């Protein structure tokens, strides 16, 4: 029934397949019976496998059950969710926070409640798909500005109808490019034009800023961005997401956000694991230091080998290839050399910007990275990239 559509995808080298991992939480995992170095995880601080995080999940499961049983408005709100939300609000320096079952749900459930008919949304061209879907679900008009192009954004703001409510939407740290949104400029424009700024800091949370509070902290803008979304499935090593902001906003979301109201609450274990992860990441800042040292080692090594890297400033290091077929072939050569890093193709990224997306974590040893660089060199030569 879908054969025609699937062969169309195959003809364009856009078929996606799952790569089964037999065991391991990284950095070494078993794929097809071989030990492979994983350079693809967003578990940036290695917290998914941390004993204290795992123990908290086990205890919450024993105490409250494997699942939450219902939406929190239906069957009551459990202690792990409450504890997580107050810890997150404190961490982000906001009055309150609300957790969602995933980042995707947080974005599609928040944006339409923030702005509706008569409003205008201006979003960065490289925003995450969940932000785009959230914008589409809102009844507001929706325009795209060129990636990180502050003057393009300003011209759109200047052209809009007087007094029109406006929401500016951006990733903090871009998931497929590894660069940062120019938050100081965006924040200033938002003030000048009386617009609101919404940032999705899925990748920045735990990674950016002196305390890992995210991209806003990195720019010294801690308390100046009203709507901050982050996820718990990346540096937090668990799953779920949060929206941190003023308490009136949080109360409003509890009343109106469809992806909060009409879905089962995250399992108590995920919430407890996220709270434990937050505790560990604050207590062990050396994890972030190791992450950044690994990032420098890998980034400078890849640059030395002559790869075409995107202008990344983060642990997300995309190696630009161009067409989808070449990106796939590079990823296959890498896997043959013992390294797993995925080819990222349209529609995740724009046409002819296919890439292999490499991520490092705090758990890689310097020797892992040195071995990986040898694999990158061989695979890069075989794929004709260097």
What is the pairing mode between strands 28-31 and 34-38?
antiparallel
Residue 231 binds ligand PLP (CB under 6 A): yes
Q: Is 128 in the site for ligand PLP (CB under 6 A)?
A: yes
In the residue annotation, 175 being an active-site residue is answered as: yes
Tell me: does residue 98 bind ligand PLP (CB under 6 A).
no
Q: Would you say 95 and 252 are in contact if contact means Cβ atoms under 8 Å apart?
A: no
Q: Which is nearer to ligand PLP, 271 or 379 (CB)?
A: 271
Q: Is 357 in the site for ligand PLP (CB under 6 A)?
A: no
Closer residue to ligand PLP in complex, CB, 107/275: 107
Question: Which of 242, 307 has the CB closer to ligand PLP?
Answer: 242
Distance CA 17, CA 12 (A): 14
Q: What's the CA gap between 137 and 106, in Å, rounded?
A: 13
**Which residues on neighbouring strands pair with residue 339, listed in sequence order?**
37
Q: Name the residue whose CB lies closest to ligand PLP.
A: 103
Among residues 130, 138, 175, 310, the one annotated as catalytic is 175
Nearer to ligand PLP, 203 or 355 (CB): 203
Binding-site size, ligand PLP (CB under 6 A): 14
Give the one residue of 56, 94, 99, 102 binding ligand PLP; rule: CB under 6 A: 102
Instruction: Identify which of residues 242 and 376 has a Cβ nearer to ligand PLP in the complex.
Output: 242
Q: Residue 359, exposed/middle/buried by CB under 10 A (0-12, 13-18, 19+)? A: buried
Binding mask 186-225 for ligand PLP (x = CB under 6 A): --------------x-xx----------------------
Q: Is 318 in the site for ligand PLP (CB under 6 A)?
A: no
Nearer to ligand PLP, 106 or 122 (CB): 106
**Is 333 marked active-site?**
no
**CB of residue 87 vs ligand PLP: minimum separation in angstroms?**
18
DSSP string, 211-231: TS--HHHHTT-TTS-SEEEEE
Stretch that binds ligand PLP, among 32-40, 98-106, 188-196, 361-369 (CB under 6 A): 98-106
- Chain CA centroid to CA 153, Å: 23
Report the alpha-carbon distance of residue 23 to residue 120 in Å, rounded.
Answer: 47
Helices (H), the chain: 3-11, 51-64, 72-75, 79-92, 103-114, 129-137, 150-159, 183-192, 215-218, 247-256, 258-261, 268-283, 286-305, 324-336, 366-382
Q: Is 103 in the site for ligand PLP (CB under 6 A)?
A: yes
Measured in Å, how far apart are the chain's first and last C-alpha atoms? 42
Catalytic residue among 92, 128, 203, 218: 203
Both tokens of 240, joined, read: 């779920």
Residue 366 · residue 297 · CB < 8 Å: yes
Q: Is the peptide bond preceding residue 44 cis, with omega within 30 degrees of 0? A: no
- The stretch among 101-109, 267-275, 297-305, 344-352 that binds ligand PLP (CB under 6 A) is 101-109
* 3-class state of residue 361 by DSSP: coil
- Taking CB under 6 A as the criterion, the residue among 221, 241, 243, 344 binding ligand PLP is 241
Rounded to whole angstroms, how far apart are CA atoms 376 and 324? 18
- Which range, of 15-23, 80-88, 100-108, 247-255, touches ligand PLP by CB under 6 A? 100-108
Does 267 participate in binding ligand PLP (rule CB under 6 A)? no
Residue 25 vs 305, nearer CB to ligand PLP:
25
CB of 289 to ligand PLP, least distance (A): 23
Give CA–CA dist 85/186, Å, rounded. Answer: 27
The correct pick among 124, 171, 177, 337 for binding ligand PLP (CB under 6 A) is 171
Site of interaction with ligand PLP (CB under 6 A): 102-104, 107, 128, 130, 171, 175, 200, 202-203, 231, 233, 241
Task: Give the active site residues.
Answer: 175, 203, 234
């Amino acid at each position: 029934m879908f054969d025609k559509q699937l062969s169309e995808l195959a003809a364009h080298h856009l078929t996606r397949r799952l790569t089964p991992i037999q065991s391991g939480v990284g950095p070494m995992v078993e794929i097809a019976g071989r030990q492979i170095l994983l350079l693809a995880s967003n578990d940036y601080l290695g917290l998914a496998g941390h004993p204290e995080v795992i123990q908290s999940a086990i205890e919450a499961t024993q105490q409250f059950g494997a699942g939450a049983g219902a939406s929190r408005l239906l069957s009551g709100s459990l202690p792990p969710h409450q504890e997580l939300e107050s810890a997150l609000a404190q961490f982000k320096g906001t009055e309150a926070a609300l957790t969602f079952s995933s980042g995707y749900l947080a974005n599609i459930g928040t944006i339409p409640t923030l702005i509706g008919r008569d409003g205008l949304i201006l979003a960065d061209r490289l925003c995450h798909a969940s932000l785009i879907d959230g914008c589409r679900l809102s009844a507001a008009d929706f325009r795209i500005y060129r990636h990180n192009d502050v003057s393009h954004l300003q011209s759109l703001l200047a052209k809009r109808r007087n007094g029109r409510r406006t929401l500016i939407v951006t990733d903090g740290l871009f998931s497929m490019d590894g660069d940062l949104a120019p938050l100081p400029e965006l924040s200033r424009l938002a003030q000048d034009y009386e617009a609101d700024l919404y940032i999705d800091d899925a990748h920045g949370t735990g990674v950016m800023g002196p305390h890992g509070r995210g991209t806003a902290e990195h720019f010294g803008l801690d308390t100046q961005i009203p709507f901050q979304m982050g996820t718990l499935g990346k540096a937090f090593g668990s799953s779920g997401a949060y929206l941190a902001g003023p308490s009136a906003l949080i109360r409003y979301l509890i009343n109106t956000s469809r992806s909060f109201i009409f879905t089962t609450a995250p399992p108590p274990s995920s919430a407890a694991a996220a709270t434990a992860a937050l505790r560990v990441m604050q207590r062990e800042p050396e994890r972030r230091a190791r992450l950044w040292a690994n990032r420098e080692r890998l980034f400078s090594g890849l640059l030395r080998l002559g790869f075409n890297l995107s202008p990344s400033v983060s642990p997300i290091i995309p190696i630009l290839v161009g067409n989808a077929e070449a990106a796939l072939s590079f990823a296959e050569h890498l896997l043959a050399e013992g390294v797993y890093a995925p080819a990222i193709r349209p529609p995740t990224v724009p046409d002819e910007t296919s890439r292999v997306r490499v991520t490092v974590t705090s758990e890689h040893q310097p020797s892992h990275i040195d071995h990986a660089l040898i694999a990158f060199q061989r695979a890069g030569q075989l794929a004709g990239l260097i």
